[in-house]
Amino acid sequence: MKGIKILERILIVIPTMLAIAILVFVLMRMMPGDPVDKMMGESGNVSIEEIQALEKEFHLDLPLFEQLKIFITGIFHGDLGVSFQERKPVWNIIIERLPATIELALGALIFSLIVAIPIGVISAVKQNSLIDRLGMAFAFLGISAPAFWLGIVLIIIFAVNLNILPVYGRSIFAYKPVHITGMYVLDSILSRNWLALKDSLRHLILPSISLGAAQAAVITRILRSSMLEVLRADYVTLARTKGLSEYIVITRHALRNALIPTVTVIGLQIGMLLGGNMIIETIFGWPGLGRLVVTSIFSRDFPVIQGAVMLYALIYVTANLIVDILYTYLNPRTTL
């Protein structure tokens, strides 16, 4: 019974993605502003022939339904069209920028975990102590501070005034590592390029903190409340009476179980990480997917918008699906 429901959920992804594709397509065509005009740099100095040639090239002269058909059939062949602005296939543009976004999201996730897990656990173990109160205060600040403001403040403090960390971009060109995965930190480790590692880490820190602060706050609170629940459970008391050291009781028995709801929350946060990327990428000049979406919305670059939004939606839907499925196994009371 459950298996069938899971299969149902997985299969529903396809019509959902189709619906999203159509939605994106329609919404974009409704935007004011002519893409051909933007392509020509809005100079207004173009001849009719050039406009017509461009329209033909990008199928903009066909009726809407035909354009939609081209787009949808293209998806199934892996062809997402060609960018209006850059004349490159959309797929290539996205693949170029995807590792940057993934690296940023991973950086934020790792930062938030490094901060949230110790604070969450200690706050729960020493409830109502000074550490607990400080931890909760920090968590509140994290959710209340807007990420983009935090990014600007961090830049002002660390880059401008103290001059320790760089302001912009992913790396200084001279130190760019060999392209293996596209993620600079990983590539520098894999190619043992320690200078590049140091450089790319320095560029990664501030954006990760800005993006991960809100994450860290949420994870801290969830972890703390589930740890509190778990620490009152019988099996923890049993472990203590068995004579196990407090450290083992906390880490191997309590923490493991407390992590279950936390992991599901983290899964849901992945969507937020992707959504919040855009502003952080804009502030830090990070050449990722989010910034691509923003600039292409402003320049009415339809194929890029379509491709990028479809990708975002796919990742989001998949993450939610995995979390939902996991959750039914972990908490038998919830149904799909």
Would you tell me which residues interact with other proteins (CB under 8 A)? 16, 19-20, 24, 27, 30-32, 140-141, 143-146, 148-149, 152-153, 155-156, 160, 271-272, 274-276, 278-279, 282-283, 293-294, 297-298, 309, 312-313, 316-317, 320
Nearer to other proteins, 46 or 285 (CB): 285
Nearest distance in Å: CB 3, other proteins: 20
Nearest distance in Å: CB 111, other proteins: 20
| Whole-number Cα distances in Å, 155 to 44, 107, 274 | 39, 17, 21
Amino acid occupying residue 275:
G
| Contact of 221 with 139, CB cutoff 8 Å | yes
Nearest distance in Å: CB 144, other proteins: 4
Nearest distance in Å: CB 1, other proteins: 18
| Residues β-bridged to residue 89 | 82
Cβ contacts of residue 275 below 8 Å, gap of 6+? 312
| Contact of 219 with 116, CB cutoff 8 Å | yes
Nearest distance in Å: CB 258, other proteins: 20
Nearest distance in Å: CB 295, other proteins: 11
Nearer to other proteins, 187 or 281 (CB): 281
Nearer to other proteins, 43 or 163 (CB): 163
Torsion, CA 183, CA 117, CA 146, CA 286, rounded to 10: -10
Residue indicated by tokens 């959504």: 275
Distance separating alpha carbons of residues 40 and 250, to the nearest angstrom: 64
Nearest distance in Å: CB 279, other proteins: 6
| Contact of 218 with 269, CB cutoff 8 Å | yes
Nearer to other proteins, 4 or 30 (CB): 30
Own/partner long-range contacts of 286-289 (Cβ < 8 Å, ≥24 apart): 286/100, 286/104, 286/169, 286/170, 286/207, 287/97, 287/100, 287/169, 287/170, 288/97, 288/98, 288/100, 288/101, 288/104, 289/94, 289/97, 289/98, 289/100, 289/101
Nearer to other proteins, 200 or 277 (CB): 277
CB atoms within 10 A of CB 205: 16
Q: DSSP 3-state assignment of 82? A: strand
Nearer to other proteins, 68 or 189 (CB): 68
Nearer to other proteins, 21 or 183 (CB): 21
Nearest distance in Å: CB 271, other proteins: 6
Distance separating alpha carbons of residues 160 and 143, to the nearest angstrom: 25
Nearer to other proteins, 183 or 214 (CB): 214
